[in-house]
Amino acid sequence: MKKHVFSLFTAMLLMSMLPLGAHAADNGYGSRVPATVMSYNIHHGVGLDNQLSLERIAGVIRDAGADIVGLQEVDRFYGERSGFQDQAKELAELLGYHYAYGANLDLAPAEGQTENRQYGTAIVSKYPILKSENVWLSSFGKEQRGVLHAVINVRGVHVDVYNTHLGLDVTSRLAQAQEIVDLASASGSDGPALLLGDLNAEPASEEVGLLLNSGLFVNSFEGVEDAYTFPVRNPSATIDYILTSPGVSHANQRVIQTEASDHLPIVAEVVFARKAGR
């Protein structure tokens, strides 16, 4: 018994003599902080079989091991098409995640309902969301678009996450892309950033080029062939993206094959670099 106590005391003493960084690394708080990121247009939870199933969407996210997910086309008490669900909240509960919601359409309640009918984007995260804000983008009389900005604490690294769904015409998308660049530039953050979303534009387009040429973002799928996300069957267009700030490294980028929505989700494994002293 005495030998047991002495061994435990010796182990604790040796641990106390290790550098602080060694403790941090053992607990996953070293200089390199990994995360798995997804962007997914969920088509208000309705799949190609025309069936509404948030459980199926949650299963896609869970199976991919995604820690941070930007969701587009998310209903909140919107109507019968989604069973008047608060979809961001319900998905977060199914996953055991935190969430933030951004309403780009905010309409009067449906007949017999008390909550406003809302439609927009959401971020669900395994890690705590410290704050969030939804900013409307110029939409020129067409369907209102926005960008949901959240700050997420990923193992001590504060990550700026932007999630958006751009418009259907080039003029709108160019204005919206510039406004996202302006917003990210004005954030004052010196930490890593992610821009997730359905940009409704191909990689060679002027609007995607505007985002990449800003110096704020790089395309995590650059050089990945056949990263087509739409339509689900025989996909031929790349319109869904995971962009990151330049200091973020990427690996295992992939498109997930599923008929749970009318878009295919994309996933990338990223690594955030912790700044010295943090």
Tell me: the pLDDT tens digits for 224-238?
999 999 999 999 999
- Mean pLDDT, residues 9-38: 56
Tell me: the pLDDT tens digits for 42-54?
999 999 999 999 9
Q: In this predicted structure, which of 57-66, 181-190, 210-219 has the lowest mean pLDDT?
A: 181-190
Query: pLDDT band at residue 30, thresholds of 50, 70 and 90?
Result: confident
- Above 60 in pLDDT, residue 8? no
The CA distances from residue 211 to 193, 195, 199, in Å, are 13, 10, 11
- Above 60 in pLDDT, residue 18? no
Nearest Cα neighbor of 230 from 58, 12, 1, 40 is 40
Taking phi over 0 as left and psi of -120 to 50 as alpha, with beta for the rest, 181 belongs to alpha
Taking the C-alpha atoms of residue 271 and residue 35, their distance in angstroms, rounded to an integer, is 6
Taking the C-alpha atoms of residue 158 and residue 148, their distance in angstroms, rounded to an integer, is 16
Which carries the bigger pLDDT value, residue 157 or residue 9?
157
Tell me: the pLDDT tens digits for 87-113?
999 999 999 999 999 999 999 999 999
Q: What is the pLDDT of residue 128?
A: 98
* Length in residues, the chain: 278
- State how far Cα 185 lies from the chain centre: 19
Q: What is the pLDDT of residue 188?
A: 84
- CB atoms inside a 10 Å sphere around CB 53: 13
Q: What is the pLDDT of residue 5?
A: 37
Going along the chain from its start, the domains and CATH numbers come out as 32-273 (3.60.10.10)
pTM of this prediction? 0.89
Taking the C-alpha atoms of residue 214 and residue 226, their distance in angstroms, rounded to an integer, is 25
- Above 80 in pLDDT, residue 179? yes
Query: pLDDT band at residue 145, thresholds of 50, 70 and 90?
Result: very high
Q: What is the pLDDT of residue 24?
A: 37
| Mean of all residue pLDDT scores within the chain | 91
